[in-house]
Structure 1
């Protein structure tokens, strides 16, 4: 069963997504939606970096974003100009937020592109060509439209109603922008609960919260419980998932080492394994499912290298790759599995949408147990 837990009280207010009692995703309620992916600003151009073909845009006092000229619209902006920009990737560490002027407004069934002029469908759509033709017929004149995979189960009337709502949101934003002084936030990123409803391929079957007001605001019935996280030991599961060494039920071990360039994951088997070939394959298949869960839970992004246990045949390697791809389908964030390199490492990428979870400020007692 897929359940959404909302805990608003105590030291760790957060949302947690649980499937069959296992923690799949975790969002601190204190997350800064103003600097999350999707937030829209009226910014002011600052430094122009000709050698990088980019410029820095002030978003708010003391906060700049990085705008490549390839993401800019029209003529090259000059210092002091005001621009409407959207955060494509949030700031991480010393890296500034990555910006674009190709604004997109997300909905549950579609994504409206006010400055676009094309129609597309999600790569996850089972009937993508048919959905692209459908998008072309529904696309508002002078705008772009991308139909999400959920649109396959929606009627044209439902999609058109969402398009009309997004168009109204855009008109309201432009009206606000016309009288605003840069730099200023025009629209924060969608809230966590809103993102869950938009992004999850299958909605939670049950919601449990400790707050009656929150339950009243849900689009479906919610249960009240004084300690939702305590039902499934969410914080214990979170601590275990954020450690450098994560153990598999079979006795195998994952070692996760984030670097500046990539996240490197090493898969190890139990030392007392018998019939090594079969045991290694079973451990690798188990690791593939767990890695998919951990990548989402830890909000890993960018390049990821996985050193699975050596396998005897190409058929076994293909089986492990397919298991990883299947497990990643539940992840709403875009992922791509590129396959094994000549050195035997699995290459994959996961789109950077949020700061990695270990970088989030958790309650002190919940972080001190993490491995170095």
Structure 2
């Protein structure tokens, strides 16, 4: 399943790469027909699509490679780097577009054949939207930031092209040539924002920033499948590197259990988490022995060493489970209240 998923990701990125080359050629031909600065800006931004798709293909290929001695956690982090690289290229392109738009506002030049050029731009909108939507959908399924970033880039390219078509229509209706440069300026600012968002997300991933949505998903699975013998879970951490998910935590179990029973329980715990994920999931669980304070929220029936009656459950959420301490402190607070 994992091999097929990686092949699908590579095929989608290759499709994006080939389509980007063809569509970039069409946009430059549209600029040749019209001499429109806005169309030129769109064409220049499409060069970024080509470079980014090529790098994204390499990153998806590399992230699919198995872990090795030099990369014990796999190669999935390269997808964060790919998204950041794409974002940086977008920002560079936006700077060039803004500068060129300002120059054309100060020294306008004639525009021609807008109707013919718009036909080519409309075609690129349809193709970019279809491929971008597919990349976004499959990228989210596979937890691939490289696919999602490339899909968002193509979708933003489609949106900007729609704005471009509207500006062309306004020029044809009003005859105001300066609308072309204003549209190009706005397009450049939009690209700068889009690129900065990609860079920000990339840096967060490379720095192992907490993914609250991912944590909530893992905790939801634990709550849905909670067993009485899982006395508590703490020091929970989850990181997504490409399609690979890494989870580690401490699981509190009865201190009097034999090692074989502890091993079997941890194995079941890991399998429940793995079954809820797409792609490879690597889990490290540290077994902690219970202490007498855990009795207040422990649901094990007929416990031979129980020192306190059960009082109440403790709700498992990200705020509690990510702490590096057993949950009996939470129980004590609740009981006092």
Q: Name the TM tier (shorter chain).
A: under 0.3
Between Structure 1 and Structure 2, which shows a larger proportion of strand residues? 1
- Larger radius of gyration between Structure 1 and Structure 2: 2
TM-score in terms of structure 2 length: 0.24
Q: Which has the higher contact order (CA 8 A, sep 6+)?
A: 2
Between Structure 1 and Structure 2, which shows a larger proportion of helix residues? 2
